[in-house]
Each structure stands twice: as C-alpha cells, then as structure tokens.
Amino acid sequence: MLSPKEEDLERLAETCLAAARQIKEYLAANNHAQPSFDENGPSSFPAATPEFHQTRLELRTAARRLYDLASGPDDVVTWHLYHCNHDLNAFRYVYRYNVAAGVPLDSTGTGSGISYADLAAQLGLDASQLKQMLRQLMAQHVFREPQPGRVAHTASSRLLATHAGIATFTGFLTEDTLPLVARQVDALERWGHGRPEPTRTALSLYYDTDLPCHAYYETDPPVRDRFGRLMTHLTANPLMANGHVARGFDWARLPGDSVVVDVAGNAGHCAVPIAEATAPSVRLVVQDLPQVVAAARDPATSVVPAHLRDRFEFMAHDYFAPQPVRGAAVYFLRMVVHNHSDALAVRLLRQIVPAMTPRSRIVVMDQVMPPAAGLLPEPLERVKRSQDLQMMLLLNAKERDEAEWADLLEKAGDGLVQDVFAAAGQPDAGKGKKLGIVAIRTPPGSMMSVIEVGFVDGAHDVNGDAGESGEAADLPDSTGTGHS
C-alpha cells in the first residue's frame, strides 16, 4: 500500500506494474475480458472481490501520481487546466448535438466508421468544427480515427450512444454544471463570501433567478427532466443503493410499538427497506411536499409493496416547520442535511428536537468527509471534494466531516435538550446532555455513512465503524404513540 506521500518514480512504477499484473490475472482466471479502448471492449469492470477493487484503486492512485510527477509542477497548474477546459467544451458539443448517436455502431470491430463530412451533413454541423471537437476527445480515448478523415467509436464513446444514464450524466456536467462553475467566483463577488442562502449561488447568478435550485428546476423543463434522469441513473449505482439504509443502523432492535419518521422521504424508497428490517408492528411516516405525497399515496404509482402498505402513512410536511410527529423512535434523513448551509441545517434540525423523547434518535445518512486533505487515495478524494463543491455551486451547501457534523448537532440542540428531558419528567437526567453523535457506521459498499444522533454527555466520544455490530447502547424501548 502506498504511503500518503509516496513520490518515488521507480517505486510508483513498480506499484503500477504489480497491480496491473494482479488485475490481469484476476480477470483471466474469472473469464472476464481485459480492459480495452476498443468499441466492443468491456464498458466497466465486473463485480468482484473487495481485494480486486482495492488493487484497482492502488493502480489508479499510483498511476495518477506517476503522471503528475512526470508532468512537472508547471504542467499541473497550466497545461492540465488548459486541456480540462477544452475537453469540457468538446464534450458539451458532442452532447448538445448528439454526435455519438450519429457514429455507426460496429459489433465486429472491423468497420471504418463514418467520414467527418457525412456525419456533419447528417447532424447539420460544420465538418471542420466537428473534426476539431472530436479530435480533442480522441486524445482522451473517446472516439477514434480508424482512417484519416473518418470517425468510429471507442468503448467510452459507444456508451454515450447506447447508455442513456451515462449520456445524461455527461449532459448534466456540461450543460448544467459547467456554466455554473464559470460563475461561482462571480457569485461570491456579487453577494459576499460565506452566504448561507440557497438563492445566492452560482445557479442564481447564471439563471438570474431568486428561486433555490430545485424550485428553479421546476420552471425549466429541460433542466428538470435531465436532473430527474440523472437521479434515476445515480440511485441505480450500488454505491447509492437504498438497501444500505438497512445496514447502517440496528433497526431490528426497535420495539414493536415504534414509529419511524422518514423526513423528506419522497415516495418511501428508503422507508421500504427500513420496514423490512423492523418488526411488523413498527409504523412508518413518510413526509414530503404535498405533490410528492399525493403521488406516493396513489396505488398506481406507489413504490411500497402491497404487503407493507398498511404500515405506512404519507404526510405533507415542510421540514422547516415544527415536526408534528412527536415521540418517534427515529427521525430519518437521507441526503437532506447536505442540501443546506450550516445555518439552514441547524434550523431544520431544531424543528425535530422538541418532538423527540430522551431515547429518540435522529438517523442521518449522508457523506462524512475526511477531516483533512490527503487522507484518502486520490481517486476517492477527488470524488468527495468534487461533490462538496457541487453542493456549494447549487445550494451554498456542503459535505461535512465528523467534527463539522458534531458542531452542527450541538448547535441544533442548544437550548432545547433540557426541555426534552423536562417534558419526559426527567429534568435531572438532561443536565450536561447535548445533541450529538452516538455512532457513525459506513455500510460495506456504500458511498454514504449513517450517523446515529441522540442525547449524549458533553464529553462523549463517537463510536466509529467498529460499531457495525449494531451494539448502539440505549436504543428506544418505549416511544409513545408517535401521533401528530
């Protein structure tokens, strides 16, 4: 395993060679195709052992360091940026004009593609400009030129033509993200640094709107529909699977009279695995906006299996209003808090705390970022840091590390915790308590972590992933009615 600061050229090259050999041997032994740029090569790596994916990560990390070191510091801050700008420009052109779909597919791998002139005529484009754009991407192994003046697919460009989800992701990045990136610093200049409002963002500036991100999307059908398709694509990724919800918290220990509230739970996609992991008498209340709730209640569009529906209640609720379901065992929020700045996240959580009992939990499923740069392999680090900046770009929001989560929770409970214990007839038990992290667990294969939140002592230490066994002390054993 590479040390975080490994930068010896020879050792990095040896790491690359050793990892590449292991990957080739594993693929051959398991009858999988080897990686290839060829149009008919594999579109992704197969599902495999954790060790295999760790080896891939080591290869990517070492290869990236080797490339950057061989490029030199000056290239990293000049030519790399130059190429990135024009790569994005070319990808946007290809997406906007659906260029990949115009290039014929070739299942034999022996075809000669299509001429630039014919492709341009077919798409109504200028042949010279088309050639400029595609040759930029060919340097990234996206499209190829089998003969001078002709273009054919590689494995990557074929995906743009045949995989709707990947094409949508490319479209979102080039059409809906790239223009906002160009306005991020301008938004800071206009409205000031550190603004918490979701209406003072790069998106606000680019679209000249006073609406927050998702409300604006509803007014712009092409953007709205592309974002909807993107979410469908991303949630199909095993890293984002709803099933991870059931493995991040010991739902089975909830008493049979418990109520679980899924805040901003949409149609109940995540509440279903929770229901399956809890006792048959546990009730689930899924809260969202009125139009979402109306669709969720409709049997024709419900995602809740018929045998579970009598346990579900769908409730219209604005999470910036006081939580109406009091005494629930768990208030669950998945990918909700990260949509908000610290100020708004505290405001949101403070609507829940007065509804809790001393034994209630808030369970948050979101990213937990590393506390400093350089603690993760670069490929993982880049994904997390890009996600963090994406939240700023769209919502003036952020992903948080453990200390930031703890600080956020303590502020959310400030001045409210003692009242919760007093209302339960336990005023003395609330002394010295704060709203804080009980445990953080990352289900295997999940991109997100599950943060178990409750009332903890002021000097409480957080249980980490060692708590995967579910031995979280003091889970609710009596939760009241849970009625609003």
Specify whether the CB–CB gap between 327 and 360 falls below 8 A.
yes
Specify whether the CB–CB gap between 260 and 332 falls below 8 A.
yes
Q: How far apart are CA 300 and CA 150, in angstroms?
A: 49
Own/partner pairs, 438-441, CB within 8 angstroms, 24+ separation? 438/361, 438/462, 438/463, 438/472, 438/473, 439/463, 439/464, 439/467, 439/472, 440/368, 440/402, 440/464, 440/465, 440/467, 441/248, 441/249, 441/465, 441/467, 441/468
For 219, counting Cβ atoms within 10 Å of its Cβ (0-12 exposed, 13-18 middle, 19+ buried), the class is: exposed
Taking Cα atoms as reference points, which of 338, 347, 348, 349 lies closest to residue 388?
338
In the numeric block, the tokens 């974002």 are attached to 227
Catalytic residue among 153, 244, 317, 338: 338
Q: How far apart are CA 29 and CA 78, in angstroms?
A: 43
Q: How far apart are CA 395 and CA 169, in angstroms?
A: 19
DSSP letter for each residue of 111-123: ---EEHHHHHHHH
Which two structure tokens, joined as six digits, stand for 350?
């403070």
Q: How far apart are CA 455 and CA 433, in angstroms?
A: 6
Helix then strand then coil, in percent of the chain rounded to 5, is 50, 10, 40
Specify whether the CB–CB gap between 287 and 351 falls below 8 A.
no
Taking Cα atoms as reference points, which of 440, 436, 433, 434 lies closest to residue 371?
440
Q: How far apart are CA 222 and CA 220, in angstroms?
A: 6
Amino acid identity at 412? A
Q: How far apart are CA 228 and CA 234, in angstroms?
A: 10
Name beta bridge partners: 313: 285
Q: Is-catalytic flag, 338? A: yes
Which two structure tokens, joined as six digits, stand for 336?
């909700």
Which two structure tokens, joined as six digits, stand for 44?
């992704």
Q: Which residues are catalytic?
A: 338
